[in-house]
Structure 1
Amino acid sequence: MAREINIVINNLSFGEAPRWRADGLYFSDVHADRVMVLRGDGGLEAVMSASGPVSGLGWLPDGRMLVVSMLDKRVLRLEPDGATAVHADLSELATGPANDMIVGPTGVAYVGNFGFSLFPPEPPKLAVLAAVAPDGHVTVAAEDLFFPNGMVITPDGRTLIVGESGGQCLTAFDIADNGGLSNRTEWAALGDGALPDGICLDAEGAIWVASPPTNEVLRIRQGGEVLERIATDQQAIACVLGGVDRKTLYVFTAESTEPAFCREHHTARLLAINVDVPGAGWP
């Protein structure tokens, strides 16, 4: 079934880490060094300006926003008065730019990193997934991940699934009461040249995957069966299920992933697609 695709915004530098919260879509405009929110009434405003590229977003249980600062490998915290504080320093663990993040119901944040530099290019190497406690204490949650990227947490708070972009697969972990991860299993392998960037979970337990090299978002069942494909004109970078009923699939796309191009041209887009099954869990 062909679905209608609506272009909501068409002049972003590079949209990432979409999160639906209350009545708005929060996201990072990575190479414009800012966090934005698109309100339900269509209003678009800046939430935070940073001194460099930003990526993953989430919230502590008390409502304070966490933001990944990529190049200095830090998690920033936005205070109620608008001030920005360093919540955690990942520089001793992250071997590449810090990237996507998910914050679960207990306030533990899981943060991935590239593992190596893409610009300028370095030989690929595996990366760790960091766990950041609500007080900012950093530990290694998992090791030997090939470019850990988008993540989801199931509605019961007991399972984390991460897209390994370099491994072209989705990998699941059990979440312990203390936030630790264990029992690593392959949730699904992607074929046909697809790889996972941003991902989101729906109420039937399927995962929507944004796949940049194949210009599409895919709805995948555990085990790897593809339930639906939606083609995009640009590279599909990230996705989330939002809206009042969580049945709007928001998809960020980009003409290029090269930082200098994105900073200069601002051709990345936000798409909105109505789907049948609502979102579930986190984000």
Structure 2
Amino acid sequence: MPDHRVLLDGLVLGESPRWHDGALWVCDWGAGELLTVTPDGRRGTALGVDTFPFCIDWLPDGRLLLVSGGDARLLRREPDGSTALHADLRDLSDRPWNEVVADGRGNAYVNGIGFDLMAGEAPGPGLIALVTPDGRARTVAGDLGFPNGMALTPDGRTLLVAESYASRLTAFDIGPDGGLSGRRTWAEVPGSAPDGICLDAEGLVWFADVPGRRCVRVREGGAVERTVDLDRGGFSCALGGPDGRTLYVTAAEWHGPAAAGGAAPTGRVLAVPAPAGPAPRP
């Protein structure tokens, strides 16, 4: 499409994009690097990461959280650059952990897919864990079909999660203690495998789709408002840019886990004009 712009090329597998402090942060899972890229395409390396997969978000006080998925830990980067253990997740699941989102109270939600995709294990039920500010972790939802991207509504009262293997976006009510209840389908997306997501200021969700090679904007209830076609799989997306109205999409060729280890660097970040900026953080 003519409104695509390649912001960054040469990634192996870009995931978990986040707009923060005037730049886009991207996890290159294949290269083991946490990158930053400015709106004019200047690239920097924020951190080397020796784990797979890994995803990021920030606590309200500005400290970075990083899911060290392969060894089931949630790490925290301190202001001096040191790394501390924020929570040990192994007692909840020893299978790889995936995405993270933090709320305005310092709670973090981390999901695990429930099986080792890269090792060729059969799919199993996924889960969501709550990690409270003191580092205590407990399971707050289960029986999810490959939980992937997550987002919080601006009032901090609803958690949205993409279920890649169930072709839907699922919503939960967030209780005063951070627990989840009131599970419901937010949108059925037949024929899609929603991966990373972001919520915009008009209350619509963008989701990236690897097999569908696209990024889709959808309303609660499932009405599709816009589709951005891609020439490779869409892994995740984030809204940002100087005015907030740029959709950043991480995309790459995907030929299955067996081919991932020797994959050529087909990953890139695309910038697409968006009709609305990001929803405010809760």
TM-score range, shorter chain: over 0.9
What are the Cα deviations for residues 164-200 of structure 1, in whole angstroms up to 9, with x where unaligned? 1111110001111221111111001111x21110001
Contact 1:245 1:278 survives alignment (8 Å): yes
Q: Is the counterpart of residue 117 in structure 1 residue 124 in structure 2? A: no
TM-score (norm 1): 0.94
Q: Is the counterpart of residue 207 in structure 1 residue 205 in structure 2? A: yes
Contact 1:94 1:127 survives alignment (8 Å): no
What are the Cα deviations for residues 73-110 of structure 1, in whole angstroms up to 9, with x where unaligned? 11111111111111111112125211111111111111
Q: Distance in 2 between matches of 1:34 and 1:135?
A: 28
Q: Distance in 1 between matches of 2:83 and 2:162?
A: 29
Q: Secondary structure at the match of 2:71?
A: coil
- Give 2:97's aligned residue: 98
Task: Point out where structure 2 has 5 or more consecutive residues left out of the alignment.
Answer: none
Q: Distance in 1 between matches of 2:214 and 2:91?
A: 35
Q: Is the counterpart of residue 274 in structure 1 residue 279 in structure 2? A: no
Task: Point out where structure 1 has 5 or more consecutive residues left out of the alignment.
Answer: none
Contact 1:153 1:281 survives alignment (8 Å): no
Question: How many percent of aligned residue pairs carry the same amino acid?
Answer: 43
Contact 1:152 1:162 survives alignment (8 Å): yes
- Aligned partner of 1:129: which letter? I
When residues 105 and 183 of structure 1 are mapped into structure 2, their CA distance, relative to the original with a 3 A threshold, is same
- Give 1:183's aligned residue: 182
Q: Distance in 2 between matches of 1:145 and 1:167?
A: 8
- Give 1:16's aligned residue: 15
- Give 2:65's aligned residue: 66
Residue 158 of structure 1 deviates from its aligned partner by 0.9
When residues 86 and 251 of structure 1 are mapped into structure 2, their CA distance, relative to the original with a 3 A threshold, is same
- Aligned partner of 2:31: which letter? A
Moved more, 43-52 or 270-279: 43-52
Q: Distance in 1 between matches of 2:34 and 2:112?
A: 19
Residue 3 of structure 1 deviates from its aligned partner by 5.5
What are the Cα deviations for residues 247-283 of structure 1, in whole angstroms up to 9, with x where unaligned? 1000000112537636652211100001111111349
Alignment of 1:206-245 (within 5 A): 206-245=204-243
- Aligned partner of 1:11: which letter? G
TM-score (norm 2): 0.95
Q: Distance in 2 between matches of 1:220 and 1:16?
A: 21
- Give 2:142's aligned residue: 143
- Aligned partner of 1:13: which letter? V
- The CA RMSD over aligned residues, in Å, is 1.7
Contact 1:32 1:263 survives alignment (8 Å): no
Moved more, 86-95 or 24-33: 86-95
Q: Distance in 2 between matches of 1:172 and 1:39?
A: 32
When residues 185 and 3 of structure 1 are mapped into structure 2, their CA distance, relative to the original with a 3 A threshold, is farther
Contact 1:158 1:176 survives alignment (8 Å): yes
Q: Is the counterpart of residue 27 in structure 1 residue 26 in structure 2? A: yes
Contact 1:31 1:259 survives alignment (8 Å): no
- Aligned partner of 2:194: which letter? P
- Give 2:48's aligned residue: 49
Moved more, 16-25 or 87-96: 87-96
What are the Cα deviations for residues 195-234 of structure 1, in whole angstroms up to 9, with x where unaligned? 1100011111110010111100111010111111110000
Q: Distance in 2 between matches of 1:38 and 1:45?
A: 6
Residue 124 of structure 1 deviates from its aligned partner by 1.3
Q: Distance in 2 between matches of 1:112 and 1:18?
A: 16
Q: Secondary structure at the match of 2:119?
A: coil
- Aligned partner of 1:281: which letter? P
Residue 123 of structure 1 deviates from its aligned partner by 1.7
- Give 1:254's aligned residue: 252
> Which structure 1 residue ranges, 4+ long, deviate > 6 Å from structure 2?
none
